[in-house]
């Protein structure tokens, strides 16, 4: 286990290139199991979750290579077997393997997935959809067993906008018999990217980017070459970091169409920026940051994954900012860590908090409890006076590719040390 040591305060300046989307890479890698022949996927981020999923796919018999952010897979020797529970139990994205393995093998046994401790994320939406499509399901307590000779298209209306639920149904439906209609489908950029990937391989998916998706089943999918989109959350995180430090940062991979809600908050907070192209933004220094109100929503609303990072911006804003987390009930754990650093925060309940600023932050020892909270505390440490030591940074490595290297290039005083060095 490592620790990040960060000395501040620092104004970030320079240029940063955003990595490929974590949330697009994972379902696309899972879906690639269904493609015949060889597939090449470019712009895959080299992060722990991706590496863990590739290990699982390799264990299933697929021939894979991953180098220089290019993932290649050949599924011609894929085995009719279940994924290794030891490889799969700590990876939330492993739930995305249910659909391709069920379609490919006619059955799958998979343990309940792990992941960040940010609240309950039930898989009822997935299971109910598979059941409607013709699968028989048994819950063994610690794992799920699904069996289906052939899935059939149905109308699926989810209880809520489940991202992985939508992705799993899409993956299952592309080779199913007949037509599948998904109402209340998630429409996030990475869901759209999955659909575009499958369509290029021969799928017939309509309604991409809307909450009503129609899928006509096809007989086969062919291997392709594809490049995934930049990471919406990483680009948003770096934009927030630049704004919070009152720096001047050019971000290559900030897709304007993906960030309407964030840009709206920037406008209200008086953050200055200019677009150099549809995929490149420059954050400019802002002397007077205004308080804002954040309410997370399904896309195109404000993303839950940026709720924690923008809280650091709120600590530097004049007035009281309100945060209302509507997606997960365990996502405000980082607030206590910000308070340790001097932030004026009040947690009202599992979903609501307020932050009053502007307040100076001071370096101390803090802990990352989940992926996005970890990035949040990195930003806080950069603007804080003195030295901060951030524990459990392996959680950050699950979703951000070489984050400390990118921040160093922007001027941050940040280094990674092992706990043995610290002790």
Which pLDDT belongs to residue 92?
79
Q: How far apart are CA 205 and CA 343, in angstroms?
A: 47
Q: How far apart are CA 379 and CA 395, in angstroms?
A: 15
Whether 211 has a pLDDT exceeding 90, the answer reads yes
Mean pLDDT check: name the lowest of 79-88, 190-199, 254-263, 405-414: 79-88
Per-residue pLDDT tens for 280-301?
999 999 989 999 999 999 999 9
Q: How far apart are CA 204 and CA 153, in angstroms?
A: 13
Which pLDDT belongs to residue 141?
72
Per-residue pLDDT tens for 233-267?
999 999 999 999 999 999 999 999 999 999 999 99
Per-residue pLDDT tens for 302-311?
999 999 999 9
What CATH superfamily classification does 2-19+230-422 receive? Enolpyruvate transferase domain (3.65.10.10)
Which pLDDT belongs to residue 289?
97
SS3 content of the chain, % helix, strand, coil (to 5): 35, 30, 35
Are 232 and 304 spatial neighbours (Cβ–Cβ below 8 Å)?
no
Same fold, 2-19+230-422 and 22-227: yes
**What is the average pLDDT across 414-418?**
94
Q: Where are the domains of the chain?
A: 2-19+230-422, 22-227
Torsion 264-243-5-2 (CA) sign: positive
Are 365 and 383 spatial neighbours (Cβ–Cβ below 8 Å)?
no
Whether 357 has a pLDDT exceeding 70, the answer reads yes
- Percent of the chain surpassing pLDDT 70: 96
- Percent of the chain surpassing pLDDT 90: 83
Whether 116 has a pLDDT exceeding 80, the answer reads no
Q: Please indicate whether residue 64 is annotated as part of the active site.
A: no
Which pLDDT belongs to residue 118?
39
Whether 273 has a pLDDT exceeding 80, the answer reads yes
Residue with structure tokens 């001047």? 248
Which pLDDT belongs to residue 119?
42
Cα angle 167-170-172, degrees, rounded to a multiple of 5: 110
The full DSSP string for 154-192 is: -EEE-SS--HHHHHHHHHHHTTSBSEEEEES----HHHH
Which pLDDT belongs to residue 122?
61
Per-residue pLDDT tens for 41-97?
999 999 999 999 999 999 999 999 999 999 999 999 888 788 888 888 778 788 899
Phi, psi of 114 (to 5 degrees): -95, -150
Which pLDDT belongs to residue 410?
98
Residue with structure tokens 């974590």? 22
Which pLDDT belongs to residue 65?
97
**Residue 408 pLDDT class (50, 70, 90 cuts):** very high
**What is the average pLDDT across 138-155?**
89
Which pLDDT belongs to residue 84?
87
Which pLDDT belongs to residue 125?
80
Task: Decide: helix, strand or coil at residue 54.
Answer: helix
Strand arrangement of the beta sheet that strand 248-252 belongs to: 13-17, 248-252, 280-284, 272-277
Domain 22-227 - what CATH class?
alpha beta
Kindly provide the b/e burial profile for residues 384-396, where b requires at least 16 CB atoms within 10 angstroms of the residue's own CB: beeebbbbbbebb
Which pLDDT belongs to residue 28?
98
CA 75 to chain centre: 26
Mean pLDDT of the chain: 93
Are 68 and 93 spatial neighbours (Cβ–Cβ below 8 Å)?
no
Are 378 and 407 spatial neighbours (Cβ–Cβ below 8 Å)?
yes
Phi, psi of 96 (to 5 degrees): -75, -5
Q: Which of 64, 116, 195, 345 does the annotation list as catalytic?
A: 116
Tokens of 59: 């264990």
Which pLDDT belongs to residue 276?
98
Q: How far apart are CA 195 and CA 207, in angstroms?
A: 10
Which pLDDT belongs to residue 113?
65
Q: Which helix (H) or strand (E) holds 371?
A: helix 371-383
Which pLDDT belongs to residue 418?
87
**Residue 117 pLDDT class (50, 70, 90 cuts):** very low
Q: How long a stretch of residues is the chain?
A: 423
**What is the average pLDDT across 362-386?**
96
Q: What is the pTM of this model?
A: 0.94
């Amino acid at each position: 286990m490592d620790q990040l040591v960060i000395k501040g305060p620092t104004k970030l300046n320079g240029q940063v290139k955003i990595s490929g989307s974590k949330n697009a890479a994972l379902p696309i890698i899972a879906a690639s199991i269904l493609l015949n022949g060889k597939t090449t996927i470019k712009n895959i981020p080299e992060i722990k979750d991706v590496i863990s999923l590739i290990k699982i796919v390799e264990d299933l018999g697929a021939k894979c290579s991953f180098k220089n952010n290019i993932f290649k897979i050949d599924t011609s020797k894929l085995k009719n077997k279940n994924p290794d529970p030891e490889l799969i139990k700590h990876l939330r994205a492993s739930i995305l393997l249910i659909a391709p393995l069920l379609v490919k093998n006619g059955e799958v046994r998979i343990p309940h997935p792990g992941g960040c401790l940010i609240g309950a994320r039930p898989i009822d939406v997935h299971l109910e959809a598979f059941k409607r499509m013709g699968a028989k399901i048994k819950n063994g307590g610690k794992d799920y067993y699904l069996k289906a000779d052939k899935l059939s298209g149905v109308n699926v209306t989810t209880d809520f906008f489940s991202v992985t639920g939508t992705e799993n149904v899409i993956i299952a439906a592309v080779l199913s018999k007949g037509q599948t209609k998904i109402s209340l489908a998630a429409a996030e950029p990475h869901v759209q990217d999955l659909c575009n990937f499958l369509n290029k391989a021969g799928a017939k998916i309509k309604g991409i980017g809307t909450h009503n998706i129609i899928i006509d089943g096809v007989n086969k999918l062919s291997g392709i070459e594809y490049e995934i989109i930049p990471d919406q959350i990483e680009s948003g995180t770096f934009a927030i970091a630049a704004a919070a430090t009152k720096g001047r940062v050019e971000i290559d991979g900030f897709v304007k169409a993906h960030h309407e809600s964030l840009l709206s908050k920037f406008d209200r907070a008086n953050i200055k920026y200019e677009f150099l192209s549809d995929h490149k933004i420059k954050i400019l220094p802002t002397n007077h940051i205004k308080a804002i109100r954040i309410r997370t929503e399904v896309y195109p609303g404000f993303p839950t994954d940026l709720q924690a990072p923008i809280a650091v911006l709120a600590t530097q804003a004049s007035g009281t900012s309100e945060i209302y987390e509507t997606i997960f009930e365990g996502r405000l754990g980082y607030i206590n860590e910000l308070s340790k650093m001097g932030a004026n925060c009040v947690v009202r309940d599992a979903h609501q908090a307020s932050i009053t600023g502007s307040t100076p932050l001071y370096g101390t020892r803090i802990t990352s409890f989940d992926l996005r909270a970890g990035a949040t505390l990195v930003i806080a440490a950069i603007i804080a006076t003195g030295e901060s030591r951030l524990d459990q940074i392996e959680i950050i490595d699950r979703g951000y590719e070489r984050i400390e290297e990118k921040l160093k290039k922007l001027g941050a005083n940040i280094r990674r040390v092992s706990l043995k060095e610290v002790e």
